[in-house]
């Protein structure tokens, strides 16, 4: 499949810069992938399209406060994104790394802009990545809680404003986030409130919680001419015995398995064995593109995705490229809000 088939033009003003005032009041585009019919709803009405015995699969990863600021001794400003910790060393992306020398000492800044601690640039890698040795005897989670900001993607314009940072820290996180490790949010889940989950449970809808730690590669555009030539990012996932049992029982009883977000889709499809999932954990490089045969997902809740992205390829594989293109055209005409803080889509 040619990558340019995943292109579309989006007016810049439709890129949501703020979340909806209330999570479940986002708009919801419902797409019937068989008929191609489209319905304009609100997310709080999603229960109208769910039946008792259906199972929603939610990704309970917790987003780290992975975005941080630093300075050089020369006064030069740096902006970083924590990726992972290994043997006490941080792997991070650093904007402005080209000017920094290997073995140079920099200062990590706290959330209020003061100096927090020193860090040594142990190694400069490719793609703006580096290895940092942090001069603080605490783990990364604890340090990031003091110095970090929500790692909202670059198309959401932010500076070091503390009041905005507090809003982002709360809203760029699902209400059921539990297991720390993501550097980007599973954004389809941002529309759920605890009250909505309770209401759906009382309606007979089942919930299964899985984990996939969303990595920075989720935003990486496909640059190859064909999507088959793209090397997809690797992410860690886990499905425990309880979640596998809920999903498998629902499937066997005739309920629909409905992953919330592309990360939940990748998780259950990576763990699928025909029409069941196994309790398992590990790394997945599953690349779902048109032509893929889905083994577990019967419907899907998702946000609107960037052009030329692996996420757009995934939803096109599920609903059909022509129907996704029609749905996106409709969403643009109806002024839906796009991307991480934007509106949602339910593909049935």
Rounded mean pLDDT, 306-332: 97
Q: Give pLDDT tens digits for 41-70.
A: 999 999 999 999 999 999 999 999 999 999
Provide the percentage of residues in the chain whose pLDDT is more than 70. Answer: 100
Query: What token pair was written down for 81?
Result: 């994104």
Position 119 scores a pLDDT of 97
Residue 218 has pLDDT above 80, yes or no: no
Position 111 scores a pLDDT of 86
Position 21 scores a pLDDT of 95
Can you tell me the distance from the alpha carbon of 342 to that of 19, in angstroms, rounded to the nearest whole number?
A: 7
Question: Hey, how many other C-beta atoms are within 10 angstroms of the C-beta on 128?
Answer: 15
Residue 219 has pLDDT above 80, yes or no: no
Domain ranges of the chain: 3-63+173-347, 67-148
Residue 99 has pLDDT above 80, yes or no: yes
User: Given pLDDT bands bounded at 50, 70 and 90, which one contains residue 194?
Assistant: very high
Position 137 scores a pLDDT of 84
Q: Give pLDDT tens digits for 5-50.
A: 999 999 999 999 999 999 999 999 999 999 999 999 999 999 999 9
Kind of pairing, strands 206-212 and 235-239?
Answer: antiparallel
Can you tell me the distance from the alpha carbon of 313 to that of 321, in angstroms, rounded to the nearest whole number?
A: 8
Can you tell me the distance from the alpha carbon of 67 to that of 63, in angstroms, rounded to the nearest whole number?
A: 11
Can you tell me the distance from the alpha carbon of 308 to that of 129, in angstroms, rounded to the nearest whole number?
A: 23
How far is residue 214 from each of residues 127, 179, 292, 321, measured CA to CA in Å?
18, 12, 21, 24
Residue 3 has pLDDT above 80, yes or no: yes
Task: State the first-to-last Cα distance of the chain, in angstroms, to the nearest integer.
Answer: 24
Q: Which of 45-59, 152-166, 284-298 has the lowest mean pLDDT?
A: 152-166
**Closest listed residue to residue 221, CA positions, set 288, 96, 313:** 313
Rounded mean pLDDT, 85-114: 92
CATH code of the region 67-148: 2.40.10.240
Question: Hey, how many other C-beta atoms are within 10 angstroms of the C-beta on 42?
Answer: 15
Rounded mean pLDDT, 143-159: 93
Can you tell me the distance from the alpha carbon of 66 to that of 80, in angstroms, rounded to the nearest whole number?
A: 8
CATH code of the region 3-63+173-347: 3.40.1780.10
Provide the percentage of residues in the chain whose pLDDT is more than 90. Answer: 89
Can you tell me the distance from the alpha carbon of 147 to that of 300, in angstroms, rounded to the nearest whole number?
A: 36
Whole-structure pTM over 0.85, yes or no? yes
Can you tell me the distance from the alpha carbon of 65 to that of 169, in angstroms, rounded to the nearest whole number?
A: 7
Position 333 scores a pLDDT of 98
Residue 88 has pLDDT above 90, yes or no: no
Can you tell me the distance from the alpha carbon of 66 to that of 150, in angstroms, rounded to the nearest whole number?
A: 6
Query: What token pair was written down for 185?
Result: 């949010």
Which residues does 261 contact at the CB level (< 8 Å), separation at least 6?
59, 186, 187, 188, 189, 301, 302, 303
Position 176 scores a pLDDT of 98
Rounded mean pLDDT, 267-293: 95
Residue 268 has pLDDT above 80, yes or no: yes
Which residues does 105 contact at the CB level (< 8 Å), separation at least 6?
73, 118, 119, 120, 121
> Is 220:294 a contact under the CB 8 Å cutoff?
no
Position 127 scores a pLDDT of 84
């Amino acid at each position: 499949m040619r990558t340019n088939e995943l292109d579309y033009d989006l007016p810049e003003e439709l890129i949501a810069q703020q979340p909806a005032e209330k999570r479940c009041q986002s708009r919801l585009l419902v797409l019937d992938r068989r008929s191609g019919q489209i319905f304009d709803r609100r997310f709080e009405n999603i229960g109208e399209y769910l039946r008792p015995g259906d199972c929603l699969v939610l990704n309970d990863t917790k987003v780290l406060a992975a975005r941080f600021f630093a300075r050089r001794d020369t006064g030069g400003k740096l902006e970083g994104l924590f990726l992972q910790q290994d043997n006490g060393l941080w792997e991070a992306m650093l904007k402005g790394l080209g000017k920094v020398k290997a073995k140079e000492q920099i200062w990590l800044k706290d959330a209020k802009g003061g100096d927090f601690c020193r860090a040594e640039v142990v190694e400069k890698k490719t793609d703006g990545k580096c290895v940092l040795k942090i001069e603080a005897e605490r783990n990364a989670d604890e340090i990031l809680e003091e110095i970090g900001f929500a790692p909202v993607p670059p198309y959401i314009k932010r500076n070091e404003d503390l009041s905005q940072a507090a809003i982002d820290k709360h809203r760029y996180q699902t209400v059921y986030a539990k297991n720390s490790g993501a550097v980007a949010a599973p954004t389809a889940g941002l529309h759920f409130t605890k009250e909505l989950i309770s209401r759906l449970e009382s309606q007979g809808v089942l919930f299964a919680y899985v984990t996939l730690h969303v990595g920075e590669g989720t935003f990486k555009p496909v640059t190859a001419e064909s999507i088959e030539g793209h090397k997809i990012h690797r992410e860690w996932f886990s499905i425990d015995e309880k979640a596998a049992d809920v999903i498998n029982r629902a499937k066997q009883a005739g309920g629909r398995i409905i992953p919330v977000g592309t990360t939940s889709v990748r998780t259950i499809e990576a763990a699928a064995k025909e029409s069941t999932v196994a309790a398992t954990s590990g790394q997945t490089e599953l690349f779902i593109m048109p032509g893929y045969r889905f083994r577990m997902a019967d419907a899907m809740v998702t946000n609107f995705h960037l052009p030329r992205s692996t996420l757009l390829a995934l939803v096109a594989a599920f609903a059909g490229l022509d129907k996704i293109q029609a749905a996106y055209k409709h969403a643009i005409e109806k002024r839906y809000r796009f991307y991480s803080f934007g509106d949602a889509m339910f593909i049935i």
